[in-house]
Structure 1
């Protein structure tokens, strides 16, 4: 019998999904473990004959729409969906466009352990999904629920927060262009773009430059209203469990005033979050060992 990696994978996954898993009745007489072929075809809204050809290797080039439908029917996670696309010789489009994004509680619990490291969790359209305690203290204008792009251009207070607002704004726009290229049909991305375009000529001018680049290791100089100048380095990590989300982590060089300021902000935020914005200023020169 003709076979293929695609067919073998479909058969193995079908055997691991039971009818109750997908809302189908479990009858008492079944000759196969898991789902029958006709049940998978029903769930994926394709013909039984077409699905049979896929399993037997006689059809090796299903459309992206069929692959997405099979991923849903067989309850594939993100890794399983990616593998299905790969063995079909295709690259998947971003999943879950338009769906509500949520922060992974375990990821947030991990970030809360970083008492000297501000961290922000960004969604696929630069929405701030969550932040650890120190992240909220440092980026007081980017509380969960805010949008990085819209805040950058529509919140006047942000212009005094970045030592070089023009550079920061250009980087945010280039990053958003990079996101838009990966998810051109995402309604949330379109909504943010529309709002920014209608309300900021500066955004429109930068957007027309068509610069596109992802977030990378970089140094940022921030002018915090409570502790003064902060020099922080930024690292960005893709969240594997939620494609499109990014964990942005900042740190200060040990032995500097910025490191001292982060410790101070962390202490204040832990005891009284409302006081974290006005502790007092200090210099950022390296500390010499005693």
Structure 2
């Protein structure tokens, strides 16, 4: 059985330095980049032997008090603490296969009528629907494209995303938050395996075990037609389809990015008008 709890604990303790934890540096050479196991146990107020058993997967089902103490020792935020609680708790039965999620006609209509870039994607990052403005804004927002695969393996992605380093980190942390403890998902395993082989950046980020739901924030795009745009992200879970999210991108009114997005929208409208009249 795969030791998801141990992998998470090991990854997170390696990210906390003794100085950050308020521990003296000591005189011995350290073989680990972050905290030692016994240091985590000391900070959590539990025995080192017990913590080692937890990390090695030889002891399962720690109490909520122990998990909370370990979370404080590892300086986890609220969302990562909840994730740790889920990993340490009893594992739920694997869910039966469900039909592929579909975009409802009403949601599809909404995408077509809003005047901002908008897409719907599943938990794996596959784009299921997108309005013309979103497709013009980014090649990673075209239906059928996997956003993670495009972000990490498309050679043009780094130029297209000026904040590529930050955006990739957010994307991988959001993926972990979305899938939760559903680690037996074969399709997910295949995607992670593929991405780990094709992208050193993805492999490094996945090994950190960062967990963070990204519902809002900034989105930087360098578009060949209108230049750089700073957009605001709003994400929503689709009610009735728990594996789907809708993403809308908008701008500050009157900002240079708003003007650039309006120019892009006008070009899309013009292109559609030509196509509607049968022009090449």
Question: Under TM normalisation by the shorter chain, which class is it?
Answer: 0.5 to 0.7
Contact 1:252 1:258 in 2 (8 A): yes
SS at match of 1:269: helix
The residue number in structure 2 matching 1:185 is 184
TM alignment of 1:198-209, pairs within 5 A: 198-209=197-208
Q: Which runs of 5+ in 2 are unaligned?
A: 1-90, 275-280
Structure 1 residues 160-175: aligned runs within 5 Å: 160-175=159-174
| 1:119/1:150 CA distance change after superposition, 3 Å | same
- Could you list the runs of 5+ residues in structure 1 that have no partner in the other structure? 1-90, 276-290
Query: Deviations for 1:173-208, whole angstroms, at most 9, x for unmatched residues?
Result: 111111232533333322211210121121111110
Count of matched residue pairs = 185
**Contact 1:97–1:186 (8 Å) recurs in 2:** no
* CA-based RMSD: 2.5
Distance 1:158 1:94 in 2: 35
Q: Is the 8 A contact 1:154 1:199 kept in 2?
A: yes
Q: Distance in 1 between matches of 2:209 and 2:233?
A: 23
- Please name the residue that 2:102 is paired with: 102
Q: Distance in 2 between matches of 1:184 and 1:148?
A: 20
Whole-angstrom CA distance in 2 between matches of 1:182 and 1:121? 23
Q: CA 1:205/1:265 → structure 2, altered by over 3 Å: closer, same or farther?
A: same
Alpha-carbon offset, residue 226 of structure 1: 1.2
Partner of 1:229: 228
Superposition TM-score, scaled by structure 1 size: 0.59
CA contact (8 A) 1:224 1:230 kept: yes
* CA shift digits 1:3-27 (9 cap, x unpaired): xxxxxxxxxxxxxxxxxxxxxxxxx
Map of 1:111 onto structure 2: 111
Q: Structure 1's 143 and 96: CA in aligned 2 closer, same or farther, altered over 3 A?
A: farther
Structure 2 residue matching 1:254: 3-state secondary structure: coil
Secondary structure of 2:125's aligned partner: coil
Bigger shift: residues 173-182 or 194-203: 173-182
Give the drift of 1:259.
1.0
C-alpha contact (below 8 Å) 1:128/1:146 kept by paired residues:
yes
Q: Relative to structure 1, is the Cα distance of residues 242 and 157 closer, same or farther in structure 2, using a 3 angstrom cutoff?
A: same
With 210-219 and 187-196 compared, the bigger mean Cα shift is at 187-196
Q: CA deviation at 1:262?
A: 1.5
Change (3 A) 1:201 1:94: same
- Structure-2 separation of matches of 1:199 and 1:95: 29
1:155–1:248: structure 2 CA closer, same or farther, 3 Å change rule? same
Structure with higher Rg: it is 1
- Contact between 1:236 and 1:247, CA under 8 Å: does it hold in 2? yes
Per-residue deviation, residues 110-142 of structure 1 (Å, max 9, x unmatched): 121112x11111112111111112111112333
| Equivalent in the alignment of 1:125 | 124
What do residues 148-179 of structure 1 show as CA deviations (whole Å, max 9, x unaligned)?
Answer: 11111110111101111100111111111112
* Alpha-carbon distance change, 96 to 140 in structure 1, aligned in 2, over 3 angstroms: farther
Distance of aligned partners of 1:268 and 1:208 in 2 relative to their CA distance in 1, 3 Å threshold: same
In the alignment, does 2:175 pair up with 1:176?
Answer: yes
**Matching residue of 1:272:** 271
Shift in CA distance, 96/238, structure 1 to aligned 2, threshold 3 Å? farther
